Amino acid sequence: MEHKTLAELSKALQNKEISSVELTQFYLDRINKFDEKLNSFITVCDEHALNMAKAADARIQSGNFTALTGIPVAQKDIFCTQGIKTSCGSKMLDNFIAPYESTVTHKFNEAGAVMIGKTNMDEFAMGSSNENSYYGAVQNPWKNNTVPGGSSGGSASAVAARLAAAATGTDTGGSIRQPAALCGITGLKPTYGRVSRYGMIAFASSLDQGGPMTQTAEDAAMVLNVMAGHDVKDSTCINKDVPDYTSNLNDSIKGLRIGVPEEYIAGDIEADVAKCIEETIKTLRSMGAEIKTVKMPHTKVGLSAYYIIAPAEASSNLARYDGVRYGYRCNDPKNLEDMYTRTRSEGFGDEVKRRIMTGTYALSAGYYDAYYLKAQQIRKLISEDYKQAFKDVDVILTPTSPSTTFEIGAVKDPISMYLTDVFTIPANLAGLPGISFPCGMANNLPVGVQLVGNYFEEAKLLNVAHQYQQETNWHTMLPEGYSA
């Protein structure tokens, strides 16, 4: 059962070869068996999930079902779920029971999907390794004591180990795509505004975007069909018709123009990772795609711009956590100032404090023009680089991460950790869609390749990834020790 894709499970449910209750219990049993080591879940919703599964079986029996009805899905613990703890991986929200449902989780509920639990994550989505969680580091199922990537590391680890048929993630600077690459799964960051952010706890509001994390591109298309769409509750959500993302998966990619930025290939990439990317390019060329070199001159400063803009927005968004209205509050405060100071000092982890301080500094009088304004100007130049490139090519191909996974605790310098997002960040700054999917193995660890498309061209990215997955079997590989 663990080798079946979401698409295959959906057909099995609809053909009544298996019930949602049986399938949900299968995944709950796997979580119970494997997750003590992986730590990919913060909350497992056993009773709640089985009740949802019973309701899903009734829907299927009545004929009123969708492609995701009865499918067990894990939700990143950044999406508010009514009546169930939503912690965002932080001590600050360890006691927070959301009084309302996020739009994304509401859409899954409407589709009849089963929420099996809430996945672990870097605190407030700040991190590239899932070591910053209040609930402890998540492990990559491919190798003991290695990171799954972040911040959606819990979702990536859970899908890779087949503890859920699919999971949601959020991507601010690569937090869906980078863990997808390190765990050997498919992860899609949609165009900014394609998926509602209502009820998704904010890190950096102009960059955050939710998306699917799945075994295959076909599965990702099925999940995106549920997640995407306009939402009047989110002023940044685009009012644009949602296509059926599964309808063009089988189109040929013959004649597709794929751009390879010379700036990326010349970067600091592990030799074995670079070899996998070269092999991927050869495979795509053999499938009829045209490979062209493109110039992206401003991407080299994208990382610096991101780590001004994102912390600046975080310093504003996280000001609401003060111990007054909800969340953690320090014990026996002497006065209001003491309550504010101690609540935030005790409630936030080191990485969150680091980014709040960085962002507050960048926005302060005398530094706003020198740092924040310059970063926004660079952001515009990066968008223009993409605009020019898409005049000559249909999609842009890069590595997803410069390396495979690394040991927990191995990267102690924050700047070195930030460099792991060097290939993913530019797409966030421009608001473009990007997908990562497995393209090889280096030292028995997964390698991911990234495709970036023009605005609202998620279907094209999914088509290319799906066609590649028809030619290769990297997406079918399961970490050793996780078969039944």
pLDDT value at residue 262:
85
Q: How confident is the model at residue 300 (pLDDT cuts 50, 70, 90)?
A: confident
Confidence of residue 115 (pLDDT cuts 50, 70, 90): very high
Same domain for 324 and 200?
A: no
User: Residue 470: is its pLDDT beyond 80?
Assistant: yes
Total tally of structural domains belonging to the chain:
2
Catalytic hit among 10, 40, 76, 189: 76
Beta strands in 333-400 (DSSP E): 395-399
pLDDT band at 366 (very low <50, low <70, confident <90, very high): confident
Q: State whether 80 and 224 are in the same domain.
A: yes
Choosing from 358, 377, 396, the residue where a domain stops is 377
Which among 377, 400, 425 is the end of a domain? 377
Do 250 and 328 have their domain in common? no
Least confident of 117-131, 236-250, 264-278: 264-278
Whether the link from the prior residue into 151 is cis, omega within 30° of 0, is yes
CATH number at residue 20: 3.90.1300.10
Residue 67 and residue 209 share a domain:
yes
In a domain, 387, yes or no: no
Share of the chain above pLDDT 70, in %: 99
| pLDDT higher than 80, residue 263 | no
Helix (H, G, I), strand (E, B) or coil at 362: helix
Q: Is residue 336 included in any domain, yes or no?
A: yes
Spatial CA neighbour of 157 closest among 109, 199, 119, 105: 119
- Residues 209, 358, single domain; the answer is no
Q: Which of 47-51, 297-301, 454-458 has the lowest average pLDDT?
A: 297-301
Q: Is the pLDDT of residue 278 over 70?
A: yes
Per-residue pLDDT at 200 exceeds 80: yes
Question: Could you tell me if residue 274 is inside a domain?
Answer: no
Give the per-residue pLDDT at 463: 98
Q: What is the pLDDT of residue 457?
A: 98
Q: What is the mean pLDDT of the chain?
A: 96
Give me the long-range contacts of 222-226 (CB less than 8 A, separation at least 24).
222/6, 222/7, 222/10, 222/67, 222/68, 222/246, 223/6, 223/68, 223/73, 223/166, 223/168, 224/188, 224/190, 224/458, 224/462, 225/67, 226/66, 226/68, 226/107, 226/108, 226/111, 226/113
Can you tell me the distance from the alpha carbon of 410 to that of 140, in angstroms, rounded to the nearest whole number? 14
Rounded to two decimals, the pTM is: 0.96
Domain contains 219? yes
8 A C-beta contact, residue 244 and residue 228:
no
Phi, psi dihedrals of residue 4, rounded to the nearest 5°: -80, 140
Residue 337 in domain? yes
The answer to whether residue 126 sits within a structural domain is: yes
Range from 63-77, 180-194, 264-278 carrying the lowest mean pLDDT: 264-278
Which residues span the domain enclosing 78? 6-255+461-476
In a domain, 450, yes or no: no
**Residues 47 and 136 grouped into a single domain:** yes
- For residues 387 and 455, give the distance between their C-alpha atoms in angstroms, rounded to a whole number: 10
Residues 193 and 336 occupy one common structural domain: no
What secondary structure letter does DSSP report for 125? G
Average pLDDT over residues 58-82: 97
In a domain, 60, yes or no: yes
Question: Quick check: is 76 catalytic?
Answer: yes
Query: Of 331, 357, 377, at which residue does a domain stop?
Result: 377
CA atoms of 58 and 50, how far apart (whole Å)? 13
List 40, 90, 151, 155, catalytic entry? 151
pLDDT of residue 268: 78
pLDDT-derived band at 265, boundaries 50, 70, 90: low
Please choose, from the candidates 457, 440, 171, 70, the residue with its C-alpha nearest in 3D space to the C-alpha of residue 281. Answer: 440
Residue 325 has pLDDT above 80, yes or no: yes
pLDDT at 266 over 70: no
- Within a 13 Å sphere around the CA of 130, how many CA atoms are in the beta-carbon half? 41
The verdict on 365 and 465 lying in the same domain is no
- Please answer whether residues 169 and 211 qualify as being in contact, where contact means their C-beta atoms are separated by less than 8 angstroms: yes
Average pLDDT over residues 129-135: 97
pLDDT band with cut points at 50, 70 and 90 for residue 279: very high
- Establish whether 175 is a catalytic residue: yes
Question: What tens digit of pLDDT does each residue of 403-460 get?
Answer: 999 999 999 999 999 999 999 999 999 999 999 999 999 999 999 999 999 999 999 9
Task: Give the whole-number percent of the chain exceeding pLDDT 90.
Answer: 95
Task: Identify residue 74 by its one-letter amino acid code.
Answer: A
What local confidence, expressed as pLDDT, does residue 418 receive? 92
One domain for residues 234 and 335: no
Same domain, 213 and 358: no
Q: How far apart are CA 273 and CA 439, in angstroms?
A: 10
pLDDT at residue 267 in the model: 59
Same domain? For 192 and 43 the reply is yes
Distance CA 51, CA 64 (A): 18
What tens digit of pLDDT does each residue of 302-321 get? 999 999 999 999 999 999 99
Q: Which residues pair with 228 in a beta bridge?
A: 195
Residue 204 has pLDDT above 90, yes or no: yes
Judge if 61 and 182 occupy the same domain.
yes
